[in-house]
Amino acid sequence: MPISVETYLGELSRELKDILSYWQTYMPDEKHGGFYGQVDGQNRPVEEAPKGVILNARILWTFSAACSQTFSENKKAMADRAYQYLESHFRDKRYGGVYWELDYLGKPLNPRKQIYAQAFAVYALSEYYRLTSDPTVLDWILELFDLLEEKAADHENGGYIEAFAEDWSELDDLRLSEKDANEKKGMNTHIHLLEAYTNLCRIHRTEEVEAALRQLIMLMKEHFVGDDYHLKLFFDEKWEVRSSVISYGHDIETSWLIYEAAEVLGEEALLEELKPMLLGMVDTFLKEGVDSAGGVMNELDAETGHLDTDRHWWPQAEAMVGLVYAYRMSGDDRYLGKALRIWTFIKEFIIDHRKGEWFWKVDRYGNPDLTDEKAGFWKCPYHNSRACLEIERILR
């Protein structure tokens, strides 16, 4: 028997508490400040691991959002800690923007200006501003927005260039990670700019912010979402496609991020225009990316036919949110039922009930790789905590 919505919400509420407790317990670096750059699969801190801005910004977003929903001094203290470290160590006070990576002592290790990172700074700081209403935080957010529009926006072809050097000069290697293509424009950066500008529009609605957000929505429709309802991952600066990989987690995540952005803009006609595309993305995701047990597969290379069947932690979380949004969009109970099925998979295979938090990934049989880190440059509390918060908000 499937669980009731009330039971689902109760379980998500308890899981959110467990996630936040894990990060409060294991992540603060009391010796060098901020948070450890990595915690291994056995919950042991890697004390000299580099500290990435994505991890710090996602911690800031997570505890700001959780504190806004249910205020507590402990959550507020974690948000404050993340903000203070971001401002004092990651902020480039000479050239503007945030550094990509610091050493464990808090000194710049890789000062490049990855636009993905600037987007996460805007996203997290906007959430922190929603919590604190601190005008100095808003000033910094607007400084970042102006930098992005001045330095990163491609005013000739649309969209945003992936990365720049410390001083915002051009780079030869624009990649977000070693697995990515070295191309001028990428899906991952643009969807996180979309969520960042959505959050910015909530706190500071101006014609400039609205225009930038609307442009990102239309870029999703015109370039990123293909006729097959999958996202295209990489492009050159003139929007020639440079990839053949389908990322199931990004497909479902983007479906609800686009809807959220249009909803914040408050344009009913745009929402109605987008719904067929967004529900098409969700239906295609269910057909191709989810197995019979409710696990979300990682990715498919459409050119070679190679299917990566590992179930990473974050697509499971994003799948629940995307399906609950589809239920909200359509009123079709089928989507809610699929979200509950994925939650059952998460409970059985993805949550580490013994040591806390979620495994990075499990294989097609549900076996976790215990050598994977629990926290690190990319393993953050944002996807799973956000799923709990968003679903609670929508279904309540």
Convert the pLDDT of each residue in 224-258 to its tens digit: 999 999 999 999 999 999 999 999 999 999 999 99
Residue 234 structure tokens? 């990489």
- Compute the CA torsion angle 374, 123, 71, 381 (nearest 10 deg): -10
Residue 1 confidence (pLDDT): 57
Segment 29-58 mean pLDDT: 98
Other Cβ atoms closer than 10 A to 325: 26
Work out the pLDDT band at 2, boundaries 50, 70, 90: confident
The domains located in the chain, with CATH, are 5-395 (1.50.10.10)
> Which residues contact residue 254 at a Cβ distance below 8 angstroms, ignoring those fewer than 6 apart?
187, 191, 194, 220, 224, 225, 231, 281
Distance, CA of 358 to chain centre: 16
Work out the pLDDT band at 292, boundaries 50, 70, 90: very high
Render pLDDT for 180-226 as a digit per residue (tens, 0 to 9).
999 999 999 999 999 999 999 999 999 999 999 999 999 999 999 99
- Compute the CA torsion angle 213, 53, 376, 123 (nearest 10 deg): -30
- Is 60 exceeded by the pLDDT of residue 65? yes
Q: Are 35 and 358 in contact (CB under 8 A)?
A: no
Segment 140-153 mean pLDDT: 98
- Is 90 exceeded by the pLDDT of residue 313? yes
Render pLDDT for 274-286 as a digit per residue (tens, 0 to 9).
999 999 999 999 9
User: Residue 209, class by beta-carbon neighbours within 10 Å (0-12 exposed, 13-18 middle, 19+ buried)?
Assistant: buried
Mean pLDDT of the chain: 97
Render pLDDT for 331-356 as a digit per residue (tens, 0 to 9).
999 999 999 999 999 999 999 999 99
Residue 70 confidence (pLDDT): 84
Segment 154-180 mean pLDDT: 96
Q: Supply the angle between the helices 313-330 and 333-345 in degrees, to the nearest 10.
A: 160
Work out the pLDDT band at 71, boundaries 50, 70, 90: confident
Q: Are 329 and 16 in contact (CB under 8 A)?
A: no
* Dist CA 196 CA 376 (whole Å): 22
The residue type of 339 is A
